[in-house]
């Protein structure tokens, strides 16, 4: 029997397959694969497509819930929002391409996630992004990546007419060589227009929609996301896809009309691994085979080899199955939208993906070998008794010691507000259009979550969150905090969570330290989702975010969608009225572990984090949500990065009002406890069940016994922190 010592051995290693994997392929096929088949197998068995180091872990996440219409396995998750409407949403990474070519990497990340959403029949109505870069003050490279990635996101979203309504942006040295660009899209669809991706009906026609196929992206996302980036990454620049948002706009409208007219059997996005992944996954889900002729695929570049056509990641393309009698009507609709539509094959009952070139077979593989037979690996983590990080973050002086290192509490607060991680994101979001489509009720800086109106007067709220520094301190509790904070953001506008998507950004899972981080983080996500009763409806895993200098901080990013009954009562961030009482909601133990104050003082992330009281979190979320919905609360803001002092300062800045506050001595004013506690304001008689700590009014923020600063100084510090880098 042929083995990895055969003629294909060197080739399979170049394509990212191990000797063991190649030998398994030979055993399954009972022969060596030819060059076309080997290329197809290499992308389908890559980490990006096969999830071979994470699939077993992901089974731990809860996926069922009363509102779930489509869960993991489809192009996007879908939840019911009532009134016959559904919301589709998903988050995905484009980290490695963005590290190589940030403008196109980020732009095509937006384009790809939009296609995932309209592939299930939903019109994209919002984009959010989660970004991580190295320290901008220290690194010209990080400033360049920041500038070009933000420009790429704005270019694609603004051009296609989908608002960018929220996101997050953080800077840490660990992301210097491996930036993170995670994009989330939210779409809206009537129930009857929802579409799955399973191919069926032998004899039906396979039709390729959209742009011409070129060499851009060959071996792109699927290969780049399955290996560490090192020296010489400029050579990988040709692997990054090139996006055309205007072509995608026509493709979007065309696909939605085809679905509305019920002309399609199924629809699938062409993303990583191109035709190979879309065709094989459609066939696998439907339990059928496909015959596909590469000679029929419209090309942008002459002379492309069959393997290039099959693994090209050219953008703005979709694959659909059409009944033969409807093909002419489908093509007519596409012509009206100036979108190319080309029959390239047919559905069979063979269970095989056959690649033809002018009718001659150049590849013939069982669908199950492509999709199902890639080996799944058990991670080998560090033993539990080996600490991931040190256990001490500050000395006995706690937050006071750290604040004194920065000049005192007042100086520490100003330094936090002007730091890149907490400063106003205005220089970023002003490059995005947050209000196109006229659904946006709460835009960036107005509330903790974006709010989008629905036709019946209700609304959905969306948020995306994560904190790699906290997860580095304690992977399980830090990952759980990401879920709690996303839910807290929704509660602050009055929304109840319906479902969750995630993007797990980690280093090399074959290394014991990273393996332990990944295992613990997934467990933390699962526990928090179970605590809140929020199902995971989809997501993405991005591994091998690692350079010779080391891995990124473990960064699970969580995107959440919720519903609120009255868009007009959506909560706001800022204090609203002179004389309102200020209160704390929730039980929390603020921690300086992994805090922004500790970072400013030069302390590394170290744990553990405090234990979360699940019942207290649920109670606090419900209290804030109900208070916003009833109108009892004039504002709500969760206490996260920078602690309670920063949270109160942000409420003052957003509302243009001062505050006089008396905090209990036991509270570390810069300690952090994401997702567990809130600053709220309202009439004193409405806040009887909460811990009242002060009053809104005046032009200064005074935290008695600790600091006193004009609101204008707070605003000036916050507004000036990021502008110099963009």
In this predicted model, what pLDDT tens digit does every residue of 170-210 receive, in sequence order?
999 999 999 999 999 999 999 999 999 999 999 999 999 99
pLDDT band at 7 (very low <50, low <70, confident <90, very high): low
Rg of the chain over Cα atoms, rounded to whole angstroms, equals 26
Residues assigned a catalytic role: 48, 94
pLDDT score at 291: 98
Average pLDDT over residues 523-547: 97
Q: How far apart are CA 441 and CA 568, in angstroms?
A: 8
Query: Nearest-CA neighbor of 91 among 43, 127, 132?
Result: 127
| Phi and psi, residue 612, nearest 5° | -90, 130
Longest dimension (CA), the chain: 83
Provide the sign of the torsion angle of the four alpha carbons 114, 322, 278, 501, taken in this order.
positive
> Residue 351: exposed, middle, or buried by beta-carbon count in 10 A (0-12, 13-18, 19+)?
middle
DSSP track, 109-141:
HHHHHHHHHHTTTPEEEEEEEEEEES-TTT-HH
The contacts of residue 412 (CB under 8 Å, 6+ apart) are: 402, 403, 406, 597, 600, 670
Judge contact between 403 and 603, C-beta under 8 A. Answer: no
Asked if the model's pLDDT at residue 396 lies above 90, the reply is no
- Is-same-fold flag (195-373; 572-726)? yes
Question: Which 3 state secondary structure label does DSSP give 210?
Answer: strand
pTM metric for this prediction: 0.95
- Between 112-116, 237-241, 519-523, 526-530, the lowest mean confidence (pLDDT) is in 237-241
| Phi and psi, residue 66, nearest 5° | -65, -20
Q: Does an H or E element contain 501, and which?
A: strand 496-505
Where are the domains positioned within the chain?
Answer: 195-373, 572-726
Judge contact between 420 and 131, C-beta under 8 A. Answer: no
Q: Among the CATH numbers 3.30.1280.10, 3.90.650.10, 3.20.20.100, 3.40.50.970, which is that of 572-726?
A: 3.90.650.10
Query: Nearest-CA neighbor of 281 among 73, 125, 104, 550?
Result: 73
> Homologous superfamily of 195-373 in CATH?
PurM-like C-terminal domain (3.90.650.10)
Q: How far apart are CA 162 and CA 444, in angstroms?
A: 15
Strand ranges inside 565-658, DSSP E: 581-585, 635-638
In this predicted model, what pLDDT tens digit does every residue of 137-179 receive, in sequence order?
999 999 999 999 999 999 999 999 999 999 999 999 999 999 9
Q: Which residues of 670-698 are buried (b: 16+ CB within 10 A; e: fewer)?
A: bbbbbbbbbbbbbeeebbeebeebbbbbe
Q: What angle do CA 161, 86, 248 make, to 5 degrees?
A: 30
Q: How far apart are CA 458 and CA 565, in angstroms?
A: 5
- Segments in 287-392 forming alpha helices (H): 306-311, 327-336, 367-371
pLDDT score at 401: 82
Report the share of the chain in percent with pLDDT over 90.
85
Q: Tokens 């509490």 map to which residue? A: 409
Average pLDDT over residues 44-56: 95
Q: How far apart are CA 471 and CA 262, in angstroms?
A: 46
Kindly report the length of the chain.
726
Average pLDDT over residues 515-524: 98
The contacts of residue 614 (CB under 8 Å, 6+ apart) are: 531
Q: How far apart are CA 375 and CA 190, in angstroms?
A: 39
pLDDT score at 588: 84
Asked if the model's pLDDT at residue 629 lies above 70, the reply is yes
């Amino acid at each position: 029997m042929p083995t990895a010592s055969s003629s294909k051995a060197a080739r399979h290693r170049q394509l990212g397959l191990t000797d063991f994997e190649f030998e398994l392929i030979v055993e399954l096929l009972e022969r060596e694969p030819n060059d076309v088949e080997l290329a197809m197998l290499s992308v389908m068995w890559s980490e990006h497509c096969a999830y071979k180091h994470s699939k077993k872990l992901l089974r731990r996440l809860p996926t069922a819930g009363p509102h779930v219409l489509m869960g993991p396995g489809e192009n996007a998750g879908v939840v019911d929002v009532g009134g016959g409407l559904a919301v589709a949403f998903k988050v995905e990474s484009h980290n490695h391409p963005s590290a190589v070519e940030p403008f196109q990497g980020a732009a095509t990340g937006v384009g790809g996630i939009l296609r995932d959403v309209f592939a299930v029949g939903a019109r994209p109505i919002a984009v959010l992004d989660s970004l991580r870069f190295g320290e901008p003050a220290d690194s010209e490279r990080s400033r360049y990546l920041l500038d070009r990635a933000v420009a790429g996101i704005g270019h694609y979203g603004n051009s296609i007419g989908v608002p960018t309504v929220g996101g997050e942006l953080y800077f840490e040295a660990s992301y210097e060589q491996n930036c993170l660009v995670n994009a989330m899209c939210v779409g809206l669809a009537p129930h009857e227009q929802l579409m799955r991706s399973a191919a069926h009906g032998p004899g039906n026609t396979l039709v390729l929609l959209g742009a011409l196929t070129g060499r851009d992206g060959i071996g792109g996302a699927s290969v780049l996301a399955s290996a560490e980036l090192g020296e010489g990454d400029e050579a990988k620049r040709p692997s990054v896809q090139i996006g055309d948002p205007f072509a995608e706009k026509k493709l979007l409208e065309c696909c939605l009309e085809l679905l509305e007219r019920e002309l399609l059997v199924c629809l699938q996005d062409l993303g990583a691994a191109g035709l190979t992944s879309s065709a094989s996954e459609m066939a696998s889900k439907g339990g059928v085979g496909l015959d596909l002729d590469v000679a029929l695929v419209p090309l942008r570049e002459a002379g492309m080899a069959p393997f290039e056509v099959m693994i090209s990641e050219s953008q703005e393309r979709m694959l659909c199955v059409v009944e033969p009698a409807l093909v002419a009507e489908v093509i007519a609709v596409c012509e009206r939208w100036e979108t190319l539509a080309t029959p390239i094959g047919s559905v069979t009952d063979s269970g095989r993906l056959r690649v033809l070139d002018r009718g001659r077979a150049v590849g013939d593989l069982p669908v199950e070998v492509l999709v199902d037979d890639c080996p799944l690996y058990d991670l080998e983590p560090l033993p539990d008794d080996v600490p991931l990080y040190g256990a001490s973050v500050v000395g006995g002086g706690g937050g006071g010691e750290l604040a004194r290192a920065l000049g005192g509490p007042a100086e520490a607060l100003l330094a936090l507000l002007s730091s890149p991680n907490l400063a106003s994101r205005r220089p970023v979001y002003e490059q995005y259009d947050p209000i196109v489509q006229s659904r946006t009720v709460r835009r960036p800086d107005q509330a903790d979550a974006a709010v989008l109106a629905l036709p019946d007067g209700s609304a959905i709220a969306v948020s995306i969150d994560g904190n790699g520094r906290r997860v580095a301190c304690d992977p399980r509790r830090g990952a759980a905090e990401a879920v709690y904070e996303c839910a807290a953001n929704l509660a602050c506008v009055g929304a109840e969570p319906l479902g969750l998507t995630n993007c797990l950004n980690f280093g090399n899972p074959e290394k014991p330290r990273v393996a332990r981080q990944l295992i613990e983080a997934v467990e933390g996500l699962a526990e928090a989702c179970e605590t809140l009763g929020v199902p995971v409806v989809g997501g993405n895993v991005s591994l091998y975010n690692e350079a010779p200098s080391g891995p990124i901080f473990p960064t699970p990013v969580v995107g959440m969608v919720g519903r609120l009954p009255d868009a007009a009562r959506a909560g706001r961030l800022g204090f609203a009225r002179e004389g309102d009482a200020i209160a704390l909601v929730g039980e929390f133990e603020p921690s300086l572990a992994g805090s922004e104050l500790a970072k400013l003082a030069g302390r590394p992330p170290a744990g553990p984090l405090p234990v979360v009281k699940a019942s207290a979190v649920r109670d606090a979320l419900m209290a804030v949500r109900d208070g916003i919905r009833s109108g009892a609360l004039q504002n709500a803001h969760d206490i996260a990065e920078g602690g309670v002092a920063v949270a109160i300062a942000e409420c003052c800045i957003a509302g243009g009002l001062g505050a006089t506050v008396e905090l209990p001595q036991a509270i570390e004013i810069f300690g952090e406890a994401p997702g567990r506690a809130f600053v709220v304001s309202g009439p004193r008689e409405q806040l009887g069940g909460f811990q009242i700590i002060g009053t809104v009014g005046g032009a200064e923020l005074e935290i008695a016994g600790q600091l006193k600063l004009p609101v204008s100084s707070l605003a000036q510090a916050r507004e000036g922190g990021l502008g110099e880098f963009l």
